[in-house]
A = this chain, B = another copy of it.
Amino acid sequence: MSNTIALYPLSNFTFSTKEAQPEEDPSVSARLQRLQNNYEDFGMRRTVEGILVVHDHGHPHILMLQIANAFFKLPGEYLLPGEDEISGLKKRLDDRLAPPGPPVEGADWEIGDCLAQWWRPNFETFMYPFVPAHITKPKECKKLFLVQMPEKKVLAVPKNMKLLAIPLFELYDNAARYGPQLSAIPHLLSRYNFIYQ
């Protein structure tokens, strides 16, 4: 595992918009109900998300989606039963962020280390970065992967979302605003030495 990662400036990336991508579920309770239905049919849900890192003036920033001017999320989604994690994450990143039309040559995503796993013990909203004691059948496992951004890239963001570059110092110690998963990203990245191109 290399601990050295090149980061490129936010200004190298081009952001356009594309058609809106409405949420699959209209509410949190509908989402949890779908989770439960899928669990009964297919077993534990597997979710993959990407931590896309760039820099602005020599400080790392994470590219995050903001939905309805409210909550933040990393790009990614749950996988189909049996679907491969890495190719599945690439497909979800394309679905969310690639410009419409046929794939551009050389625009493949470079998926790096798995940085964290979050476990959902019950059909509830809370998740933990470990399998809680006495839980033998977690309902979801979400893996966060480092995504190494190339020197330049064109991204297209669904119209109903924003893509924001959030600095590490804003995420750090800020679970109140970003929740436990996103506010821990500075910890997960701290072992890397970044080279600011």
A165 at interface by CB-CB < 8 Å = no
Please classify the interface of chain A as helix (H, G, I), strand (E, B), loop, or mixed, using the class held by over half of its residues.
mixed
CA distance A133 to B173 in the complex (A): 16
Verify A113–B1 contact, CB threshold 8 A. Answer: yes
* Chain A residues touching B, range: 20 to 34
B115 and A191: CB pair below 8 A?
yes
A132 at the interface (CB under 8 A from B): yes
Within 8 Å of chain B (Cβ to Cβ): is A6?
A: no
Stretch at the interface among A21-29, A52-60, A86-94: A52-60
Q: Mind listing 16 A-B residue pairs with CB under 8 Å?
A: A1-B1, A58-B133, A113-B191, A115-B191, A117-B191, A129-B172, A129-B187, A129-B189, A129-B190, A130-B186, A130-B189, A130-B190, A132-B169, A184-B187, A187-B187, A187-B188
Complex interface: chain B residues within 8 A of A190 (CB): 116-118, 129-130
CB–CB A187/B114 < 8 A:
no
> Counting CB contacts under 8 A, is A42 at the interface?
no
Q: Which residue of B lies closest to A168 (CB)?
A: B130
Q: Which residue of B lies closest to A143 (CB)?
A: B191
CB contacts under 8 Å to B, within A109-164, are: 113-118, 128-130, 132-133, 143
Chain B residues, Cβ within 8 Å of A184: 184, 187
